[in-house]
């Protein structure tokens, strides 16, 4: 049976790539895709999500959630994704059927499929935090939460010690990390191990496919942004690697930790804090993926991209 998931995204180029793979992976049943602000403002996140799903035209249309506009997110210090979040590819806007807030879509999906859904958080944890605040008892209905974000050794990519997703909404990150639900976190040190070089562009689906048309227009922007803003010739597709942790968990090294998130530090707000004391005082609450078979993970990504191209 395919694994039921909710994809919670802030598209975002790497989110868009992960979405294209997930929608056409026969091992996954994408029950819903929900938008949140992060890489782009909430309204743009919703527009991008609707445009991507409309253009890709998957065989089974998931429910779509609208990003909440009343959430205060930290302002981004730099923009890796272009003005529209998708590298300026100017997808036709598609107002798809529905229009319910992401938190409503998530809440209803958990109730429709109790303990069956893996919530895959590829953006800030705003939406899941709002659902948990609205109905704390819903933790009993969540199968698992997989989170793309956080740092294992404090090697941040927005501040010296904080990754982008936790930086945007530290309070939501703390709320979710503290909840008594099965959680797996894929930190950026791990997702960054599976970096891609320029040869990725030659391995994308043909532009005659819908997925290929999008990918071949978006990813050159990612390479330019990594070179100009980070001084890197390769790229890290953090959220795409996190999706592989859902479909191929055997490719990752796992450890259980006791963790929390800092929300008040002037220099550390959003930092994942792990109790590393000899005599640990905090209770274990999080599975952390601290390494991966990078070559195998990259192969999974390439096969996922090829399958998306074949299907579109």
175 is catalytic: no
- State the number of CA atoms in the 13 A half-sphere of 62 facing the CB: 29
pLDDT digits (tens, 9 = 90+) for 280-299: 899 999 999 999 999 999 99
The sign of the torsion formed by the CA atoms of 18, 84, 204, 94 equals: positive
User: Is-above-0.85 flag for pTM?
Assistant: yes
Nearby residues of 97 by Cβ (< 8 Å), 6 or more positions away? none
Nearby residues of 59 by Cβ (< 8 Å), 6 or more positions away? 24, 311
- 81, 175, 226, 238: the catalytic one is 238
Please give the domain boundaries of the chain with CATH numbers for all domains.
3-311 (3.90.245.10)
pLDDT digits (tens, 9 = 90+) for 11-22: 999 999 999 999
d(CA 139, CA 244): 24
pLDDT digits (tens, 9 = 90+) for 162-212: 999 999 999 999 999 999 999 999 999 999 999 999 999 999 999 999 999
């Amino acid at each position: 049976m395919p694994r039921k998931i909710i994809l919670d995204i802030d598209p975002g180029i790497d989110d868009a790539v992960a979405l294209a793979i997930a929608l056409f992976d026969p091992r996954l049943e994408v029950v819903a895709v929900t938008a949140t602000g992060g890489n782009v403002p909430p309204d743009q996140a919703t527009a991008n999500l609707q445009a991507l799903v409309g253009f890709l035209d998957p065989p089974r249309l998931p429910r779509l959630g609208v990003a909440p506009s009343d959430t205060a997110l930290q302002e981004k210090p730099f923009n890796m994704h272009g003005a529209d979040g998708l590298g300026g590819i100017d997808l036709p806007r598609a107002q798809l059927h529905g229009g319910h807030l992401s938190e409503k879509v998530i809440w209803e999906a958990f109730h429709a499929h109790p303990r069956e859904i893996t919530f895959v958080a590829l953006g800030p944890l705003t939406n899941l935090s709002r659902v948990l605040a609205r109905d704390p008892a819903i933790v009993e209905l969540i199968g698992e939460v997989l989170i793309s974000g956080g740092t294992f050794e404090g090697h941040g990519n927005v501040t010296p010690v904080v990754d982008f997703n936790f930086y945007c909404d530290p309070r939501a990150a703390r709320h979710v990390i503290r909840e008594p639900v099965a959680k797996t976190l894929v930190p950026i040190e791990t997702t960054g191990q599976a970096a891609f070089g320029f040869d990725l562009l030659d391995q994308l689906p043909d532009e005659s496919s819908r997925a290929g048309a999008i990918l071949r227009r978006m990813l050159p922007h990612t390479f330019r942004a990594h070179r100009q803003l980070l001084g890197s010739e390769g790229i890290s597709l953090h959220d795409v690697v996190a999706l592989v942790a859902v479909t191929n968990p055997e490719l990752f090294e796992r450890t259980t930790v006791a963790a929390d998130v800092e929300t008040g530090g002037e220099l550390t707000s959003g930092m994942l804090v792990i109790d590393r004391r000899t005599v640990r005082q905090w209770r274990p609450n999080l599975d952390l993926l601290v390494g991966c078979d990078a070559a195998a993970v990259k192969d999974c990504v390439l096969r996922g991209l090829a399958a998306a191209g074949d299907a579109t």
